[in-house]
Structure 1
Amino acid sequence: MKAIDFFCGGGGMTCGLRQAGINVVAGVDFDPDAKATYEYNNQGSVFVRADINTLERDYFEKNLNVQPNDDELILVGCSPCQYYSIIRSSKEKSKASKDLLLQFQEFIEYYNPGYVLVENVPGIITNKDTILPQFLKFLEDHGYGAPNSRTCKYAVINMKNYGIPQSRRRFSLIATRLDREVHLPEHVANEKTVRQAIGDRRIYRRIEAGHRDDNLVRCHSAIQMSAINLERIQHTSHDGGCRLEWKDDLRLQLNCYKGKDKSFCDVYGRVAWDKPSPTITTKFLSYSNGRFGHPEDDRGLSVREGATLQSFPWEYEFKTNRLEVAAKLIGNAVPPEYARRLGQVILGVNNA
């Protein structure tokens, strides 16, 4: 089996498919920050820095000997999803990403692969402007089956059900034009917790906010905190505490949250040890951008802790000196463990 990973970012999907035993021929992304990390960790998989809107459809045929109508070819499309996200963001700014799935569709039409994989935010189903119905109709018209038929399955899934120590709801689709039944990966019996993932203090040792790890592989580095945010986290109880604990302290309380005790309660909160973590976003280094405070230390999560909660292997190295860039590559990634399980489904291997 071979795959092309569109919108590959730093390589989460590529990593997992390779772990399953699938040859990822290439990853495609327009982000220059992704190239070094992708290539270093996925040697043998070519990084193609390109805008999918202008990339020639026959590029992979001409340059990488990828042939159309190959039953063993998988095309993967995990397009940027800001437009459909429930996270507050400028829809005007993210509008360019709205129709990327339709650009990916053109490569499906040209190569007619045996399999198609898509991962996105749940909002791609519910958003009133979604192009998902158009994409599903395309798949049906091109022999991949009607939605949720024997050969085309999709659902909104939660990564915590697949051995990943994180609550992360995503849209996931697998389709084939071959005469076989496909399905999404099977659930695991028990959820993996934050403690199981990053609780070993011999590895994820105590550090302070602003600590920079000189070991680039380990990258147990945390960003600096302002003096007032340091006070806030010091007044937030260990193991899952939240900002409501200091809401009546006029000095610590933020004006924007006054009278909003039932809204945005995860912001300025600590992660709980014995649950899966909240969704690891591109802002997970920042205590003020979600429930990203460490369960015990007075700091936000480190780069390596976020990567581990996303199920990246320990040896996966983020080739940048900027912590915010590493966080972007981690937060935008498909968790490799889920990708591995998708690969096993295609290969007909029981999930482990």
Structure 2
Amino acid sequence: MKELKAVDFFCSGGGMSYGIQQSGIKVLAGIDFDESCKETYEANINGAEFIHADVFELSETELETRLSLKTNDDNLVLIGCSPCQFWSIINTDKKKSEKSKNLLIEFKRFVQYFNPGYVVVENVPGVLRKKEESGLEGFIEWLNTSGYTVHFNVHEVSNYGVPQHRKRFTLIANRVSSIEISPISSTKKKVTVREVLGEKNGFPKVAPGHKDDSDFLHSVAGLNELNLKRLAITPKDGGDRLSYVYNSELAPPCHFGKTDSFRDIYGRMWWDRPSPTITTKFFSISNGRFAHPEEDRAISLREGAVLQSFPIDFKFSGSSTAKIARMIGNAVPPKYASAIGEAIIQNHSNAI
């Protein structure tokens, strides 16, 4: 059997590429408009090239020549995990992300040209709810009429070995067989925060504002006096803002006396559950349930990465905490990516 090979569009720091590579598929290249991802990507994705390009300006023939690709290649996997802020239910500036809404349509252009054996798309569930506006509906129709067997659904990544609750839309299409391929789920119980964080897993106790300049990046955002007071009375292991909801000094004015919404803000993670969804703002306790289960601080950069299922020695490079956190939060969890890759390999082995 010839080796499967993949090109990862919108690769960012390489979460999808790393997981696909770990499953046994060779990653030829990752393509991204953000050049700051290059150092992280190439440090972790062995043998792959980082292509700094705007997909709106990149031509099919240019990519074909650069990577020595062939059309109608059964062994080629094209992956498109386009930035998803425009279709997210999380409040974001839609004007800033408006251009990204058409990225799936641009990815379709490359799929039509190369006609690969396999196509993978991963995104927020909102892209399915808005499938006509996002271009997903037309893409699926084209795949169906072009000889592909298409699987698409919303999957919960904690069912695939990721210690985090995160729902993601995933499409896997193949024209190598008539079998519908879906990610291979883990038969084990869900991985919890306790199994990956804490001192026994190599995370020493640190104070808010701790800086770690080593590759381990156990760096933690600082906290002002008010937030320190809030965490001091927030119960360990899953406590939330209800512990001070009627305290006029500690409760945010917009939340004072309100017990029926936004309970995750300033909340602690639970030890014995998967973490909540790791967003690009996971280093800030005011943006979700991102406080450590026990220590009076937000989780560190490395803790967020581990909850995304990155290996503990994955090297991140960035000029600021916020930029590294964005790379981590936007990533496809590598263990989930591996589940996709394993399903493709299994199908390919049976079909060839």
TM-score by length of 1: 0.94
Q: Which runs of 4+ in 1 moved over 6 A?
A: none
Aligned to 2:213: 214
Aligned to 1:147: none
Alpha-carbon offset, residue 99 of structure 1:
1.4
Aligned to 2:27: 24
Of the three residues 239, 253, 256, the one matched with 1:255 is 253
Of the three residues 106, 118, 123, the one matched with 1:103 is 106
Query: Which residues in structure 2 correspond to 1:222-301 (within 5 Å)?
Result: 222-301=220-299
Q: Is the 8 A contact 2:184 2:340 kept in 1?
A: no
Q: Is the 8 A contact 2:78 2:118 kept in 1?
A: yes
2: CA distance between counterparts of 1:340 and 1:121? 18
1: CA distance between counterparts of 2:12 and 2:77? 17
State the secondary structure of the residue aligned to 1:8: coil
Query: Which residues in structure 2 correspond to 1:315-330 (within 5 Å)?
Result: 315-330=313-328
Q: Which amino acid aligns with 1:78?
A: C
| 1:261-290 Cα distance to aligned partner (Å, 9 max, x none) | 211111110000000000000000011100
Q: Evaluate the alpha carbon distance shift between residue 83 and residue 181 of structure 1 in structure 2; reply closer, same or farther with a 3 A threshold.
A: same
Aligned to 1:66: 69
Aligned to 1:141: 145
Q: Please say if 1:337 is aligned against 2:338.
A: no
RMSD: 1.5
Name the count of aligned residue pairs.
343
2: CA distance between counterparts of 1:61 and 1:129? 29
| 1:203-242 Cα distance to aligned partner (Å, 9 max, x none) | 01100111011322x1111111111111111121110000
| 1:82-123 Cα distance to aligned partner (Å, 9 max, x none) | 111010112222211111100000000111100000100001
Where in structure 2 are there 5+ consecutive unaligned residues? none
Alpha-carbon offset, residue 251 of structure 1:
0.6
Q: Please say if 1:75 is aligned against 2:75.
A: no
Of the three residues 127, 134, 142, the one matched with 1:130 is 134
State the secondary structure of the residue aligned to 1:90: coil
Q: Is the 8 A contact 2:15 2:332 kept in 1?
A: yes
Q: Please say if 1:198 is aligned against 2:197.
A: yes
Aligned to 2:304: 306
Alpha-carbon offset, residue 135 of structure 1:
1.4
Alpha-carbon offset, residue 181 of structure 1:
1.1
Q: Is the 8 A contact 1:182 1:346 kept in 2?
A: no
Range moving further from structure 2, 28-37 or 183-192: 183-192
Q: Is the 8 A contact 2:85 2:92 kept in 1?
A: yes
2: CA distance between counterparts of 1:202 and 1:97? 38
Q: Is the 8 A contact 2:123 2:168 kept in 1?
A: yes
Aligned to 1:160: 158
Q: Which amino acid aligns with 1:84?
A: W
State the secondary structure of the residue aligned to 1:58: helix
Alpha-carbon offset, residue 321 of structure 1:
4.2
State the secondary structure of the residue aligned to 2:60: coil
Q: Evaluate the alpha carbon distance shift between residue 131 and residue 260 of structure 1 in structure 2; reply closer, same or farther with a 3 A threshold.
A: farther
State the secondary structure of the residue aligned to 1:209: coil
Q: Is the 8 A contact 1:162 1:186 kept in 2?
A: yes
2: CA distance between counterparts of 1:33 and 1:137? 35
Aligned to 1:41: 44
Q: Is the 8 A contact 2:121 2:172 kept in 1?
A: yes
| 1:162-190 Cα distance to aligned partner (Å, 9 max, x none) | 11100000001100112241321233231
Range moving further from structure 2, 300-309 or 198-207: 198-207
State the secondary structure of the residue aligned to 2:30: strand
1: CA distance between counterparts of 2:211 and 2:54? 34
Of the three residues 91, 96, 116, the one matched with 1:93 is 96
Q: Is the 8 A contact 2:177 2:347 kept in 1?
A: no
State the secondary structure of the residue aligned to 2:223: coil
1: CA distance between counterparts of 2:318 and 2:237? 31
Q: Evaluate the alpha carbon distance shift between residue 131 and residue 258 of structure 1 in structure 2; reply closer, same or farther with a 3 A threshold.
A: farther
Q: State, as a whole percentage, how many aligned pairs show the same letter.
A: 47
Q: Please say if 1:9 is aligned against 2:12.
A: yes
2: CA distance between counterparts of 1:71 and 1:32? 30
2: CA distance between counterparts of 1:19 and 1:187? 16
Range moving further from structure 2, 23-32 or 178-187: 178-187
Alpha-carbon offset, residue 141 of structure 1:
2.4
Alpha-carbon offset, residue 349 of structure 1:
7.8
1: CA distance between counterparts of 2:177 and 2:43? 37
State the secondary structure of the residue aligned to 2:311: coil
Aligned to 1:148: none
2: CA distance between counterparts of 1:330 and 1:93? 20
Q: Is the 8 A contact 1:161 1:187 kept in 2?
A: yes
State the secondary structure of the residue aligned to 1:25: strand
Q: Is the 8 A contact 1:152 1:173 kept in 2?
A: yes
